[in-house]
Structure 1
Amino acid sequence: MDTLDPHNFLNRECTWIKFNERVLRESAVPSNPLLEQLNFVAISASNLDEFFMIRVAGVKHLIESGVPHHDIAGMTPQEQFSAIEQMVHEQVRQQYAYLNDLRDRLRGEGLYFIKPSELDEKQQLWLENFFEREIYPVVTPMAVDSSHPFPFLSSLSLNLAVLLRRREGDSSVKTAILPVPSSVINRIIKVPGETGPQQFLFLEDVLSTFAERFFLGCEILEVTPFRVTRDADLDIDDDAEDLLAEVVKSLKKRKKGAAVRLELADSASRMVKTLLMTELSLEERDVYMIPGPLDCKVFFSFTGIEGYDYLRYAPAFPQPAYELENLHAPDMWTAISQRDIMVHHPYETFETIENFVRLAATDPDVLAIKQTLYRVSSKSPIIAALAQAAENGKQVTVLMEVKARFDEENNIHMAAKLEKAGCHVIYGIMGLKTHSKITLVVRREEDGIKRYVHLATGNYNGKTARIYTDVGILTSDPLIGVDASASFNLLSGYSDPPYWNKLAVAPLNLRQRIYEEIDQETAWARQGKKALIIAKMNSLLDKKVIARLYEASQAGVKIKLIVRGICVLRPEVPGLSDNIEVHSIVGRYLEHSRLFYFYNNGREDVFISSADWMPRNLNERVELMIPVEYQPHKERIKGILNLYFHDNVKAYAMNGDGTYRYLADTRKGEPVHAQAMLQKEAEDHTRQLQKKDIKTRVLRRTSGDK
């Protein structure tokens, strides 16, 4: 069988839509608290925004180019767009069905979203005063006529299309645009009230109610909310000499990208719809008629409403890093020197890693800190520590990836802050994104220079580390230290690719190392021996890697894949992938860790990595795959993988046609909820440490009494 036949693969865009369908389905899972269900609606909406700005825009570019092209599944751009259009329209319909049901159930909890017309006389007076004081001064109406061309509307901004005519004189219908100022005024407005149900208004409804205040002497015929989504992919010139300047230039272009989607309230007249389609150069299939409030991301802020904790998940707090605390070493350097330390976020606190960088910044024996940064929070303790380190006279080198999508501006700002403090900042590498997660600390000790390294599957972002699952390892392994230095020399200078002792590095040798591990299992299976691969990642898209997995399956290798999002591999297809199972976990935390296990005739090769098995990660990014050699860590990661694969509460199993079945619907036996069990395990470890500390203090006091 030809494993590379397009029929053996699924379309990337369709599998992404299926992933977002799984996210959206959490909005209707009864075990999720009500406000958490609403949060999943908001997440699905946010995902769709990015999907249109990047992926749909890309498919449109392919159609417009006219260049013959077939994707991994053999689909033309036109076929892809037709499939996208059909699937997303249905998904949006389902999204608002869930939302409207949730709004009804929120009423049962005393939380009402109402229209201004539903307010009583006293509330109407309040609203009028609120409008005059807070809204009217910041809104500028924009006429659309021969003297006023249709205005440029920024991507994802909410606006009102207004049809009107003069009360006297010219009776022709005129058009105007009212921008909804949701960037400066909360879009969800609470109606004052001390008792009874809490009532909320949408800003656009308030603006619609008072629209005539902006057009004195005119009769308002129609006011319709709408929203434009624009192409936001950056066009970076790989031949440009100044990467930073090129990114800044592309960011300006992004704001003026071509429209790719129009969302329009379903009350809109044909006249408004036709006008907007014409002005935005969109077709009927690009228009989404919305039966509710546009842009469900607005509910992100609402889900944190005070006084309703019982409608959210029970609090789950990151715990101290058990392995580090259990060593009771006098300092972190000593602890890492004793053995590798593994940290599992968000179950264990990211502060461990922030403290590692902070300690390096203030330790007089530390000579240099080198770090790659892909996505960082705007108030990052790591940025502050690196700046402090430079001010303390240490050599600080930071590769700040300014091409990290939708974090470009923040990363440029953070890089400027670091440069001002005296850090040496590298603004990425032309033609490649640096996606590896690595920190190298060089320290002078009694027996000479020593390297300490942190390697991870996730970003150095304390905010996302509370909601993304990731694994990191702190090590003083000399060979990994040498590889870490070589990696930074490769990034910062003209060094030729070195011989790698332990790390596999994309785009140099990571792909080949993956091939070797898969082929090794295939060889064992052909010898009639046990062969097993368990792999966890965000996305699986690389055609050649998948072909090798198909070959391994045909040889008898058992393959268990845990893929959160895109997966174009077809599992459980007779004669092709009989031995491959694919599961997907969608839960409270976003599954972000990349973990890989190969049985290797009992030797058990285990890795963590920053890279998914996608062409961009293996060919166009700087990525790392790190061998896990400390046996307790091998066992720990193997346990995590097995736990995820046996999840029957938040897991979906993939069918060969690309659909998914929710395992909770067919569960037999006890529920297995991986995320909840990992949280409990972390909390149990903390209790064990506390008991151990209490026992130690008691023994010390008893010994002192004697």
Structure 2
Amino acid sequence: MSEKKTYNDPKYYTNRELSWIDFNDRVLEESRDKTNPLLERLKFLSITQSNLDEFFMVRVASLAKLAAVDYPKPDASGLLASEQLRAVNKRAHEMLIKQYNTLNRSLIPAIEQIGVHLKSHTDLTPAQFQFIKGYFHDELYPVLTPMADDSSRPFPFIANDTLNLAVQLTPTNGSGRLYATLQIPDVFPRVVRLPGEDNAFILLEEIIKTFVGQLFVNYQVKESVVFRVIRDMDLDVAEEDTSDLLKDVQQQLKLREHGRVIRLEVENSISKKLLKRLNKELGTPDFAVYETNGPVDLTFLSKLTGQIINHDDLKYPKFTAYQPKELDSNHDIFAAIRSHDWLMQHPYDKFDPVVEFIRQAASDPDTLAIKMTLYRVSGESPIIRYLGRAAQNGKQVTVLVEVKARFDEQNNVHWAKQLEKMGCHVIYGLIGLKTHCKLSLVVRREQGGIRRYMHMGTGNYNDVTAHFYTDMGLFTVNNDMGIDATNIFNMLSGYSKPPFFHQLHISPDGIRDFIDDKLDQAIETVKEGKTATVKMKMNSLSDQRMIAHLYKASHAGVKIQLIIRGICCLKVGIPDVSENITVHSIVGRFLEHSRIYSFDFDGQKSVYLSSADLMTRNLNRRVELLFPILQPDLSSRVLQIYETMWHDNVKTRILQADNTYKHVDRRGLTPLASQEAFAEAATLHVKRDQEDAAAAAPSEFQPMLSPQNQPNPLNYDDGSEPD
């Protein structure tokens, strides 16, 4: 058997979709972990639901389309699309049982013990019942629209991810069964606070079900159950050219609302007859029906935790993110970046300097141009505002807005139009590729000539998600990187294709080629009798060619450490293949999002950060960026951050040879939760800076000295600092 064939054996690979379900199961474990604060456990259960919804809208929808046309090519693990579709639904059903067992047996009893009550209409006090009755008549009744379902009125369209009631009726003075549906309006909060108690709540659908009969005068409600559908929401944009891309995306956004039903969730109290009718009308296969032992759509739990009062002690403790004073609004950020490179680790370091970088550039008289890529931004993005201000101030502003960023398409289309109105030059991306790199470039005219200031990151320019995604970024004026960045923007905006890059590596192809070269170097180093270690951190590892290369390096004797939060299609512990590979996964308070790639060849270390995971889409079909950390103290800091995460023994799970993930055996070890350690270090850093500033401040009463005794003012413009 040839080496290549050996490394590509299907039994060496885990199916991507099943690996994702393993990841979501690790999130679910966090909701069951009693060492986590109680209200955070509710949030984790909510996250498992939103994760599943997106997974079904995109990944399972794609499998359904492939299965429908009997797509003949198996995945790396040897499974056909139809086999994957059934396996995924089987595992998702098992997860559903686990989710609702967690809710009903663990979380609901636990919150009731602290005085938080999620009530049904039968549990209410007379005053609370009168409250929901008034709420129904005064607020809900005018908005609700029952939709009859009979021979003259066809079954109505059920929108994706909306809560609905399926109602079965009989005439008061007659016989026979009639049916209707009723959408539960999302213009009202789903979690409604009840009077008379601090933390008593009822769900909106429970109020509507209690009084639904009043919408059907002269009919008797025999049954009413909540249901929800998840539809195929994958965007299918044909890109022959980008001139009409914006229009094409907007058109597809309308069309995808009517995608086929991929999953039907319904309360398990539903009768067989009503379920059969829903199945028929929605065209749902039996394996895609999910009966819930509790409220449909558990994302309401996040909203519930936001309304619970007097229990901040049951949430994660707050920490103070660090910001160097040199990078704040009172200092010249360009002078700070000229003095040396700056590494940011969010959310432990504030995201503010990234916003400040664009803000100062917008009004800086020496700034000639700002160029930036935007993949996902917040709904009220300050960066967008400052880019617009820069254009209005006469700067040349070029922004690549990726309008195909999944589930952010509408937001990005909006911002693209706004930027154009403000005078920015907007690019919508390259044909057939998503632009996923995180790159901003400020070009200034200075005494020595033109100078390029850069920020490169592993995560999006999103000031909201920066508070709960872990990401890393670099500020630099490195000339070679600046030239590379200019070439990247020329490539994105025009027809330029640079023959080579000095320091940066770009996908498609460039990052794959770079990592392949590094793995080949590692193999050669080991063959020479020296040691080689590869350390990588990413969100997902699924590219078959890359996994095969890691297997080859492992077989040669290269030590490989991988920290992978989510999907991992690589298997460990395969004799003569992956015995030198160890995989850790950290799931905790923050979503691990940073990507680190480091290589140690007999003591010669190199460190890189990237926007890219080792997934086929990132390496082949996206514009991605991988950049080196050249300043020695910063590269050491990245490695130290990696080592702290690698030795996490609280939130780390280690991939086993049987494809399960197990917590670290902590016997005899001092507990180390890396995210907590970084948060505590940030708070300590802030406190130390405050104490230093207080110690350096002049006392309140200071004697006036004669002019000849005044100390000489110190000038730090040369970059030196006082002792």
* TM-score bracket, shorter-length normalisation: over 0.9
For the 8 Å contact 2:368–2:443, the answer to whether it is kept is: yes
Equivalence for 1:687: 687
Per-residue CA shift, 1:174-217, capped at 9, x if unaligned?
00001111x21111111111xx5632111111111111111000
- With over 3 angstroms needed to count, the CA separation of the structure-2 counterparts of 1:519 and 1:703, relative to structure 1, is farther
Whether 1:596 aligns to 2:597 is: yes
SS of alignment partner, residue 210 of structure 1 = helix
Whether 1:188 aligns to 2:191 is: yes
For the 8 Å contact 1:161–1:175, the answer to whether it is kept is: yes
**Aligned length in residues:** 699
SS of alignment partner, residue 211 of structure 1 = helix
Q: What are the residue-to-residue correspondences of 1:353-432 with 2, within 5 Å?
A: 353-432=354-433
| Alpha-carbon distance, 1:330 to partner | 5.0
Equivalence for 1:276: 278
What amino acid sits opposite 1:135 in the alignment? Answer: L
Q: What are the residue-to-residue correspondences of 1:130-209 with 2, within 5 Å?
A: 130-169=135-174, 171-181=175-185, 183-193=186-196, 196=197, 198-209=199-210
Equivalence for 1:559: 560
Per-residue CA shift, 1:66-122, capped at 9, x if unaligned?
121200111111221221121110111101111112011111111111111222323
Equivalence for 1:547: 548
Equivalence for 1:108: 113
Report the Cα distance in structure 1 between the residues aligned to 2:558 and 2:362, rounded to whole angstroms.
48
Report the Cα distance in structure 2 between the residues aligned to 1:654 and 1:704, rounded to whole angstroms.
68
For the 8 Å contact 1:323–1:341, the answer to whether it is kept is: no
Per-residue CA shift, 1:237-281, capped at 9, x if unaligned?
122552111111111111010000000100000011101111111
Q: What are the residue-to-residue correspondences of 1:212-611 with 2, within 5 Å?
A: 212-240=213-241, 241-305=243-307, 306-321=309-324, 324=327, 331-611=332-612
Per-residue CA shift, 1:530-557, capped at 9, x if unaligned?
1101100000011111111111111111
Report the Cα distance in structure 2 between the residues aligned to 1:699 and 1:434, rounded to whole angstroms.
54
Per-residue CA shift, 1:117-159, capped at 9, x if unaligned?
2223232222211110011011000000111111111101000
| Alpha-carbon distance, 1:704 to partner | 7.2
SS of alignment partner, residue 431 of structure 1 = coil
| Alpha-carbon distance, 1:695 to partner | 3.5
1:6 aligned to which of 6, 10, 29: 10
SS of alignment partner, residue 609 of structure 2 = strand
SS of alignment partner, residue 7 of structure 2 = coil
> Could you list the runs of 5+ residues in structure 2 that have no partner in the other structure?
710-723
Report the Cα distance in structure 2 between the residues aligned to 1:130 and 1:376, rounded to whole angstroms.
37
For the 8 Å contact 1:188–1:201, the answer to whether it is kept is: yes
Report the Cα distance in structure 1 between the residues aligned to 2:571 and 2:698, rounded to whole angstroms.
59
Report the Cα distance in structure 1 between the residues aligned to 2:464 and 2:704, rounded to whole angstroms.
45
SS of alignment partner, residue 223 of structure 1 = strand
For the 8 Å contact 2:71–2:80, the answer to whether it is kept is: no
| Alpha-carbon distance, 1:329 to partner | 10
For the 8 Å contact 1:189–1:203, the answer to whether it is kept is: yes
- With over 3 angstroms needed to count, the CA separation of the structure-2 counterparts of 1:576 and 1:148, relative to structure 1, is same
Between 427-436 and 683-692, the greater mean CA deviation after superposition: 683-692
SS of alignment partner, residue 258 of structure 2 = coil
Whether 1:66 aligns to 2:70 is: yes
Equivalence for 1:678: 678
For the 8 Å contact 2:63–2:85, the answer to whether it is kept is: yes
- With over 3 angstroms needed to count, the CA separation of the structure-2 counterparts of 1:37 and 1:330, relative to structure 1, is closer
Per-residue CA shift, 1:203-236, capped at 9, x if unaligned?
1111111111110000110001000000000111
SS of alignment partner, residue 472 of structure 1 = strand
Report the Cα distance in structure 2 between the residues aligned to 1:598 and 1:125, rounded to whole angstroms.
67
SS of alignment partner, residue 42 of structure 2 = helix
- With over 3 angstroms needed to count, the CA separation of the structure-2 counterparts of 1:683 and 1:420, relative to structure 1, is same
For the 8 Å contact 2:391–2:422, the answer to whether it is kept is: yes
Report the Cα distance in structure 2 between the residues aligned to 1:624 and 1:611, rounded to whole angstroms.
7
Per-residue CA shift, 1:375-432, capped at 9, x if unaligned?
0001011011001111111110000000000000000111111111000011122200
For the 8 Å contact 2:326–2:333, the answer to whether it is kept is: no
Report the Cα distance in structure 2 between the residues aligned to 1:472 and 1:602, rounded to whole angstroms.
25
Whether 1:35 aligns to 2:39 is: yes
SS of alignment partner, residue 137 of structure 1 = coil
SS of alignment partner, residue 141 of structure 2 = helix
SS of alignment partner, residue 233 of structure 1 = coil
For the 8 Å contact 1:378–1:414, the answer to whether it is kept is: no
- With over 3 angstroms needed to count, the CA separation of the structure-2 counterparts of 1:221 and 1:401, relative to structure 1, is same
For the 8 Å contact 1:59–1:81, the answer to whether it is kept is: yes
| Alpha-carbon distance, 1:658 to partner | 2.1
Per-residue CA shift, 1:594-618, capped at 9, x if unaligned?
0111002222110000000010000
Report the Cα distance in structure 1 between the residues aligned to 2:237 and 2:559, rounded to whole angstroms.
42
SS of alignment partner, residue 63 of structure 1 = helix
For the 8 Å contact 1:15–1:658, the answer to whether it is kept is: no
For the 8 Å contact 2:117–2:200, the answer to whether it is kept is: yes
Report the Cα distance in structure 2 between the residues aligned to 1:357 and 1:229, rounded to whole angstroms.
39
Q: Percent identity?
A: 44
Report the Cα distance in structure 2 between the residues aligned to 1:165 and 1:699, rounded to whole angstroms.
84
Whether 1:54 aligns to 2:54 is: no
| Alpha-carbon distance, 1:699 to partner | 9.6
Report the Cα distance in structure 2 between the residues aligned to 1:323 and 1:631, rounded to whole angstroms.
20
Report the Cα distance in structure 1 between the residues aligned to 2:73 and 2:595, rounded to whole angstroms.
31
- With over 3 angstroms needed to count, the CA separation of the structure-2 counterparts of 1:322 and 1:649, relative to structure 1, is farther
What amino acid sits opposite 1:478 in the alignment? Answer: N
For the 8 Å contact 1:69–1:76, the answer to whether it is kept is: yes
Per-residue CA shift, 1:336-383, capped at 9, x if unaligned?
111101111000100110001100011111111000000000101101
- With over 3 angstroms needed to count, the CA separation of the structure-2 counterparts of 1:154 and 1:515, relative to structure 1, is same
Equivalence for 1:127: 132
For the 8 Å contact 1:322–1:686, the answer to whether it is kept is: no
- With over 3 angstroms needed to count, the CA separation of the structure-2 counterparts of 1:211 and 1:689, relative to structure 1, is same
What amino acid sits opposite 2:23 in the alignment? Answer: F
Q: CA RMSD in A?
A: 1.7
Report the Cα distance in structure 2 between the residues aligned to 1:357 and 1:513, rounded to whole angstroms.
31
For the 8 Å contact 2:27–2:48, the answer to whether it is kept is: yes
> Could you list the runs of 5+ residues in structure 1 that have no partner in the other structure?
none
Equivalence for 2:720: none
SS of alignment partner, residue 77 of structure 2 = coil
